[in-house]
Amino acid sequence: MDQENKYRLRVKNCIGTIIDVHKSIGDKYDNQEFLEQFEKLKEAVDGLDMSVVSEGDVLMVEKATNALLEEFEAIFKTAKLGPVYEKLSS
């Protein structure tokens, strides 16, 4: 896999994680517009010219995603929500 596709995959994974977290809390904190915007963003990444993206750019997206997930941590703890992803049995 070339570097541009690796960058695209990393960015899409960040967006996908945000979407999955939002879906898991959606019943309690419904905001369909927020979810739709991230779904559109995920689709838009396919059309981006990743040749102008650097490792630093992708790291910024990953850091921002991690910061957002830290903010969600409080919601998951206080609302006693379960895991976003089910554990796979081995």
Is residue 89, in this structure, part of any structural domain at all? no
Is residue 8, in this structure, part of any structural domain at all? yes
Is residue 84, in this structure, part of any structural domain at all? no
**CA 41/CA 45 separation, integer angstroms:** 6
**CA 81/CA 78 separation, integer angstroms:** 8
Is residue 79, in this structure, part of any structural domain at all? no
Q: If phi over 0 gives left and psi between -120 and 50 gives alpha, with beta otherwise, what is residue 66?
A: alpha
Is residue 11, in this structure, part of any structural domain at all? yes
Is residue 80, in this structure, part of any structural domain at all? no
* pLDDT tens, position by position, 22-74: 777 766 666 677 778 888 888 888 898 999 999 999 999 999 999 988 888 87
Domain ranges, residue 11: 3-73
pTM of this prediction? Answer: 0.77
Is residue 83, in this structure, part of any structural domain at all? no
How many folded domains does the chain comprise? 1
- Which of residues 75 and 90 earns the better pLDDT score? 75
